[in-house]
Structure 1
Amino acid sequence: MTLIPTQEKVVKEEDSETQGPLIPPDTVSKEERLVWFRRKLPELDILKSNKLTHQFHSRVLEFFNFDYEAQFFMTWIAPTRYRILKPLVDRGFKVNAVTPNLAFLFKNTPAEAWFEEMKTGNKDPGEIPIAQNLSNLMRLVALYKFGGVYLDTYFIVLKPFNGLKNLIGAQSINMKSKNWTKLNNVVLIFDVNHPLLLKFIEEFASTFDGYKWGQNGPYLVSREVERIREKPGYNFIVLPPMAFYLVDWIRINRLSQKPANECDSIWVQAKLLRLSRETYGIHLWNKQTRNLRIEEGSVMGRLILEHCILCQHIY
């Protein structure tokens, strides 16, 4: 991931050495799952407030009290904490890991009542890991309260995001009308208190369904934007797929393959040229690419060599 020295990034993460996302059993009834969830609640540290989480707001404000060109957020529900960011800090980048106080973060938003029901065991978390849905909600509320850029971690940034504001990237479009057909929540760029973010948070809290993948994430963004797209007062834009979603998850594998012949080499060069003109970053579809072997000379290999700060021995 390319970062310029004046960029800021806050990574919100869970403060536990042993706590991973709780995976609910998939062979039980809704009633049995809720009983299981209530029994497991004491183990779910991310829902708790403690001495460390109480520092959340002051640490974020202190961190943003610098002259920066853009501020970035990621959610990282893992026990790695600061140590995984140290190589970036050692190279002069302004990054920080901040353990969130979710009760404080969600306070005075439509997420507050939803969170209270969840942490008291009165709401069914569903089959989708609660960590995944918390990530969907945290990114919305963090942007609503602090403004900036949200990025998923499996993302290659190709150029600065300076000047980008109040926008979402289209994942797909209708080739005839050029209107978007699907949006995503992998990249969100908004000002503080943007009304569309508030609509997203309201939609999350009122239609939460832990049994449907995407219901509370990318599908939420698509249906809410579709609902308000003709209404005045929201002031946002939708960028075309080339801005962030070079290819969909079905075709992402080709980007990791080296050219097999001259025709392939021409295709790679043409793709890289177009990327340099039209693309801010590439979403890597982690589930599809995390086990791929990146071949030398491939589109992905060339991009990582040119833009990744810490990548070594990628071939």
Structure 2
Amino acid sequence: MILLFILNVFEIIIIMLSREKPSVFSHCYMDAVSMEISPESLSSIDDGGPIPLEDVLLAKDKPVPGKTIFLLETSCPCSDSQFDLLALTSRQACAIESAALHNPNLQVFVLLACQTSRHQSDPITDAIISYKNVKLRHVNLWRFAEGTPVEDWVKKDELFRSRYLMNNISDLLRLLSLYRFGGIYMDMDVVVLRSFEDEPLNFVGVESEKYIGNAVISLDPKGSGHKLGELFLRDFQKNYNGDIWAYNGPRNIFTVMTEVCDTDDVHLMEKDRNRCQGMKVFPSNAFYEIDGGQWTHFFEPKFANETLERLKNSYLTHIWNRISTRRSLRVDSKAAYIQLATEHCPRVLAATKDRFD
């Protein structure tokens, strides 16, 4: 009992300290200079060096409002170099390729939260940028928040007083992306199974009986979608808690949807789009047919046929990287994940040497 008491006190102290000052990793995200490519960076391109990614707001090709799919990479290696090197896993690249493959008329913007450059020749990266609609960009959080409801709050660095900084930045950036441009956000650990091009914007999906997920969110850049984007951002700021895992993600979406739909019953939200101000709530089989408790079904061949059959009516499937990340597969495996990759991200699978992870 004494040991348990000591451990509890220690945890409380850690939480209090994390609230008093920004995360030690906050400097990885802070850049005081513009990400416009310098002459020095251009010279490194000429001699075969890494290519710095352009800032999404400074680049010539910007996201097309309402016609863009966003994916985010918010981890930061925190190296001493000016730019971190892009190192997408096969899984991440599969999410990107499957989005681009099934939605050729939409732009697919992959936003990286840290100053990043890419190798001029990397098989996995080459596989995804071979799609003309894929764009790799850096995002400066502070610049990205300018002109939004959370601009002043972001400048105060309250966001960085967090035990789960990378996840909270991801939760915020997806909302900022949709507030600025509209379109569709999806996590980097999904496989897109069919097109979203004919699906009207403004939708989320039920993840469980009493839960709306934030792995897939769509908002229109104008009208009710933009108003919902503002509500999501204001709720994020008002109820932000950096000490609880996933608190600022799905909770944020569910809280706002409960207010907008005037009910906390997700099944009522599904049945009547009109009561939710035009926001469609997909049933769980649309994005989360295989739930987190069944993540092994993607990796064990004995579940392959059942898993693929269950996904026949899904728009995409979530692979649950947080709990499955240590599970690796050979590229010649009969597991459902590899079969999905064969059909929905063939170029990435072909570029992967031995292990798909």
Report the TM-score when normalising by structure 2: 0.66
In structure 2, the residue matched to 1:12 is none
Deviations 1:116-141 (A, max 9, x none): 211xxxx3744423222111111101
In structure 2, the residue matched to 1:46 is 29
Are 1:92 and 2:131 an aligned pair? Answer: yes
Q: Secondary structure at the match of 2:348?
A: coil
Are 1:113 and 2:140 an aligned pair? Answer: no
In structure 1, the residue matched to 2:337 is 300
In structure 1, the residue matched to 2:142 is 103
- Aligned residues of 2:66 and 2:220 also touching (Cα < 8 A): no
Deviations 1:87-137 (A, max 9, x none): 13552333222222322321232211220211xxxx374442322211111
The Cα of 1:245 is off from its aligned counterpart by: 0.7
- Aligned residues of 1:183 and 1:218 also touching (Cα < 8 A): yes
Are 1:186 and 2:215 an aligned pair? Answer: yes
The Cα of 1:55 is off from its aligned counterpart by: 4.7
In structure 1, the residue matched to 2:50 is none
The equivalent position to 2:308 in structure 1, one of 254, 257, 272, is 272
Equivalent residues in 2 for 1:50-199, closer than 5 Å: 50-52=33-35, 55-59=55-59, 62-64=61-63, 70-77=67-74, 78=76, 79=84, 80=86, 81-83=116-118, 86-88=125-127, 91-118=130-157, 123=158, 125-164=160-199, 165-173=201-209, 181-193=210-222, 194=225, 195-199=227-231
Q: Which moved more, 1:162-171 or 1:85-94?
A: 85-94
The equivalent position to 2:296 in structure 1, one of 248, 253, 256, is 253
The Cα of 1:253 is off from its aligned counterpart by: 0.7
Alpha-carbon RMSD? 3.0
Are 1:37 and 2:22 an aligned pair? Answer: yes
The Cα of 1:288 is off from its aligned counterpart by: 1.8
CA gap of 1:92–1:247, structure 2 versus 1, over 3 A, is closer
Counterpart CA distance in 2 for 1:227 and 1:69 is: 24
CA gap of 1:47–1:82, structure 2 versus 1, over 3 A, is closer
CA gap of 1:124–1:87, structure 2 versus 1, over 3 A, is closer
Counterpart CA distance in 2 for 1:300 and 1:125 is: 35
Equivalent residues in 2 for 1:275-286, closer than 5 Å: 275-276=311-312, 278-286=313-321
Counterpart CA distance in 2 for 1:233 and 1:271 is: 32
In structure 1, the residue matched to 2:242 is 210
Deviations 1:127-169 (A, max 9, x none): 4232221111111011111111111111111111112211001
CA gap of 1:271–1:36, structure 2 versus 1, over 3 A, is closer
Deviations 1:15-51 (A, max 9, x none): xxxxxxxxxx96745553355538x48x614233422
Are 1:291 and 2:326 an aligned pair? Answer: yes
One-letter code aligned to 2:34 = K
Counterpart CA distance in 1 for 2:117 and 2:145 is: 24
Counterpart CA distance in 1 for 2:308 and 2:16 is: 52
One-letter code aligned to 2:188 = T
- Aligned residues of 2:235 and 2:256 also touching (Cα < 8 A): yes
One-letter code aligned to 1:223 = T
Q: Which moved more, 1:226-235 or 1:70-79?
A: 226-235
Gaps of 5+ in 1: 1-24, 174-180
In structure 2, the residue matched to 1:17 is none
Counterpart CA distance in 2 for 1:246 and 1:232 is: 25
Report the TM-score when normalising by structure 1: 0.74
Counterpart CA distance in 2 for 1:254 and 1:62 is: 40
Deviations 1:54-82 (A, max 9, x none): 954232x62446xx994111221243235
- Aligned residues of 1:242 and 1:279 also touching (Cα < 8 A): yes
In structure 1, the residue matched to 2:278 is 235
The percentage of aligned residue pairs carrying the same residue is 21
In structure 2, the residue matched to 1:11 is none
Gaps of 5+ in 2: 1-9, 37-53, 77-83, 87-115, 263-273
- The aligned length equals 267
